[in-house]
Structure 1
Amino acid sequence: MPVVRREALCLIAGALALPARAAPLQSGATASAFGFAKPEGGTLALAAHAGKPILVVNTATACGYAPQFAGLQQLWTRFGPRGLTVIAVPSPEFGHQEPLDGVAIAEAARKNHGVTFPVTAKTSVTGPQAHPFYRWAAAEKPAETPRWNFHKYLVGRDGHVSAAFATPVEPTDPRVIAAIVRELDAVG
């Protein structure tokens, strides 16, 4: 009997050692179902921005694309009063180009790039540990997932991903601006 009990304990221990599976995403979910941890504590709930366009960008302060923070700030300054929210999601992936943690990330973005829009806590955006928002967005736009820092997802007024822009596309690119204006002008 001790052998059976030992095998059972090994099976239980093995099951506990497996990584937790991500909860399945609800079909029909919108961005409002998600929130991001704030570096200072609490949650930035996307539900607070329901019915408005949201530009969610995975960022890294030590990335060669970090000057795009300035373009994101331009979008926030220009379109924020009309309802656009810009959210920076610092990511540890892609060359570990986010060396900072916690509030230091937001402080660096503010000090070095003049950022005044929300910056979340460091968040995984790819792979099995990806934040639920990023798993949902990947399901919405499977061919347009982050492959590097500064990938941009535009969530439309309807709460679904209306557009995605790869890293090299500058925030002030006419395609990004046109997509934002289209969402701002859409009847909510």
Structure 2
Amino acid sequence: MAGVYDFTAKSLAGEDMALKRFEGQVLLIANTASACGFTPQYRGLEALHQALGPRGFSVLGFPCNQFGGQEPGDAKQIEEFCASNYAITFPMFAKIDVNGNNAHPLFNYLTNQKYGLLGRSIKWNFTKFLVDRSGKVVARHAPTAKPEALFREIEALL
């Protein structure tokens, strides 16, 4: 059976990045967008990444334009937005689909592991999946869940 670390995704720079490089870390994987009411969650995601990163934690951001067209930019625009507005240092990946026939295989896997309010489907931007050090998807959090509210749950896995 495939696990989180068996997937590859393109970085914002367009390079294939094997998720195997994150093996042994606790991960918070989120679909993101630059023009969403939840976009300020980038601050909380970056704060978690900074605070817990040295202990083996990483946030992985996957831009997605499937919800209200709220991620219309190309990779360069997304990178510039994240850097200039939120000083993002966690890995950001190329824009993907998270639902439907063209959904990225990683998100097919994540949504099969943990269902949400709408079953498998992701409801909106900033849905978050928490993955333990062994690569098991242990929780799924709705877009309304603030990253800072996940601190203790993440810390318990470290």
**TM-score of the two chains, using structure 1 as the length reference:** 0.79
Partner of 1:119: 92
Q: What is the CA-CA distance between 1:146 and the residue it aligns to?
A: 2.0
Letter of the structure 2 residue corresponding to residue 61 of structure 1: S
Aligned counterpart for 2:44 among listed residues 71, 81, 87: 71
1:164 matched to 2:140? yes
- Report Cα offsets for 1:34-90 as digits up to 9, x if no partner: 121112121222101111111111000011111000000100110011110111100
SS in 1 for 2:20: helix
Matched, 1:178 2:152: yes
- Indicate the structure whose relative CO is greater, using CA pairs within 8 Å and at least 6 residues apart: 2
The offset of 1:116, in angstroms, is 1.1
The 8 Å contact of residues 54 and 87 in structure 1, kept in 2 or not, is answered as yes
Provide, for residues 94-138 of structure 1, a one-character-per-residue CA deviation record: whole Å limited to 9, x for no partner.
101001011220210111112111111101111111100000011
State the SS of the aligned residue for 1:73: helix
Map 1:33-72 → 2, pairs under 5 A = 33-72=6-45
Residue segments in structure 1 that go unaligned for 5+ positions in a row: 1-27
The alpha-carbon distance between structure 1 residues 65 and 143, as it changes in their structure 2 partners (threshold 3 A), is closer
Of structures 1 and 2, the larger Rg is shown by 1
Q: Give the alignment's TM-score, normalised by structure 2.
A: 0.93
* Secondary structure of 1:64's aligned partner: coil
**Distance in 2 between the 1:133 and 1:122 partners?**
13
Aligned-pair identity (%): 37
Q: Structure 1 CA distance, aligned partners of 2:86 and 2:39?
A: 8
Q: Provide the secondary structure at the position in 1 that maps to 2:148.
A: coil
Number of aligned residue pairs: 155
Tell me the SS of whatever aligns to 2:62: strand
| 3-state SS of paired residue (2:28) | strand
